[in-house]
Amino acid sequence: MVEIPKHSMTPMDRYCVFGNPIAHSKSPLIHAEFASLTQQQLSYDKQLVAEDQFPQAVAEFRRQGGQGANVTLPFKQQAFELCDGLTDRARLSGAVNTLYWQGDQLWGDNTDGEGLVRDLLRNGVELKGCRILLIGAGGAVRGVIPSLFEQQPQSIVVANRTQAKAETLAQHFAELGDISSCAMDEIDGAFDLIINGTSASLSSTALPVNADVIQRAKCCYDMAYGSEPTVFQQQAKQLGVSKSLDGLGMLIQQAAVSFERWRGVTPDPQPVYDLIKRQL
Ligand code: NDP
């Protein structure tokens, strides 16, 4: 008689990512690799959710035994509002990308900022005392500001095409440290690190940022990523910036932080980074 291994008889812990659209999401692949690397038994699926069905989808997932979930566009703010409890960084950023339950209570975290910080540190970018220029004022930029301030940079300037949004962010985070705002075409001064958190790269649009400003940076980071260097990375390279990075590392690292929260183990991000990079 063939003996059935005990673990194959127990239901696997279930995780998922909620979004709309969701077909493009790399999260199932990333988490499957993390599970394999850390020898965890779990399943992780994509869940396409109608825009007005997010709370119902979360409740149904929990009812079916769901242990935790990621949340992507357009539900990060709804997830924030749905949670019973929030980590400090999720509360400050006003958006949740990671859900988990403590008893009956639904908790929310935002791991994007920690993911970005880990990727920058891993690539040898010094953040303490650093002068940071953050370009963009959408959800991604809002989500990373609390974690960047935890690293004690000297200052953060937020610049955005629609200046009023940059101003709102600077006011919102004023208690965390030295933060100011300006319009995209008014950016001036010296920065050690420039982070492009706009979606301009997705349409291969170059940012109208003064070449002098880019030239003086030690590192340029684009939150977007692709099979080729982004337009912003190309701009930086042409202007002689020695380090230009894309956002694939941030994507893998934010997933690693979620995985850690759910499973209590830290996966090595490098093999997963290499795998996804080959597939882009
Ligand atoms: P949002 O839609 O919330 O914000 C978009 C931002 O980009 C706004 O500030 C908008 O300016 C600006 N923008 C859009 N088009 C242009 C343009 N042509 N020129 C200048 N500015 C422009 O998007 P998100 O904040 O969610 O995402 C921003 C980027 O970050 C995307 O590329 C996304 O893929 C990436 N991202 C990467 C992650 C990762 O893990 N690597 C995680 C999350 C996001 P305005 O306010 O004037 O409209």
CB of 61 within 8 A of CB of 43? Answer: no
| Distance (Å) from CA 230 to ligand 1 centroid | 14
Tokens 């992507």 found at = 72
**pLDDT tens digits along 82-135:** 999 999 999 999 999 999 999 999 999 999 999 999 999 999 999 999 999 999
CA-nearest residue for atom 19, ligand 1, is 200
CB of 226 within 8 A of CB of 280? Answer: yes
Residues marked as catalytic: 76
Q: What is the mean pLDDT of the chain?
A: 94
| Distance (Å) from CA 66 to ligand 1 centroid | 30
Pocket probe for ligand 1: among 25, 133, 198, the residue whose CB has the most ligand atoms within 8 Å is 198
Q: What is the pLDDT of residue 66?
A: 96
CA-nearest residue for atom 16, ligand 1, is 200
The predicted model gives 59-65 an average pLDDT of: 96
Confidence at 30, pLDDT banded by 50, 70, 90: very high
The predicted model gives 12-38 an average pLDDT of: 96
Burial of 188 (0-12, 13-18, 19+ CB in 10 A): exposed
CB of 225 within 8 A of CB of 251? Answer: yes
Tokens of 211: 């070449």
CA angle 242, 249, 178 (to 5 degrees): 70
Checking if the pLDDT of 4 tops 60, the result is no
Q: Which residue has the higher pLDDT, 5 or 246?
A: 246
The predicted model gives 45-74 an average pLDDT of: 97
Pocket probe for ligand 1: among 80, 199, 235, 248, the residue whose CB has the most ligand atoms within 8 Å is 199
**pLDDT tens digits along 191-217:** 999 999 999 988 888 999 999 999 999
Burial of 269 (0-12, 13-18, 19+ CB in 10 A): buried
Of 127, 120, 185, the residue nearest 154 (C-alpha)? 127
Return d(Cα 69, Cα 189) in angstroms, integer: 41
Of 280, 279, 276, the residue nearest 30 (C-alpha)? 276
| Distance (Å) from CA 81 to ligand 1 centroid | 22
Checking if the pLDDT of 1 tops 50, the result is no
| Distance (Å) from CA 13 to ligand 1 centroid | 33
Which residues contact ligand 1 via a Cβ below 6 A? 112, 136-141, 160-162, 165, 197-202, 205, 223-224, 247, 250-251, 254
| Distance (Å) from CA 197 to ligand 1 centroid | 5
CA-nearest residue for atom 23, ligand 1, is 138
**pLDDT tens digits along 131-161:** 999 999 998 999 999 999 999 999 999 999 9
CA-nearest residue for atom 12, ligand 1, is 198
Of 253, 207, 199, the residue nearest 226 (C-alpha)? 199
**DSSP state at residue 110:** -
Q: What is the pLDDT of residue 139?
A: 87
The predicted model gives 172-178 an average pLDDT of: 96
Q: What is the pLDDT of residue 109?
A: 97
Confidence at 71, pLDDT banded by 50, 70, 90: very high
Tokens 């209590």 found at = 264
Confidence at 11, pLDDT banded by 50, 70, 90: confident
Tokens of 272: 């997963």
**DSSP state at residue 202:** G
Of 170, 19, 24, 202, the residue nearest 97 (C-alpha)? 19
Q: Which residues pair with 44 in a beta bridge?
A: 15
CA-nearest residue for atom 11, ligand 1, is 161
Of 5-14, 65-74, 122-131, the least confident: 5-14
Percent of the chain with pLDDT over 70: 96
Checking if the pLDDT of 5 tops 80, the result is no
CA angle 163, 160, 120 (to 5 degrees): 145
**DSSP state at residue 204:** T
Q: What is the pLDDT of residue 126?
A: 95
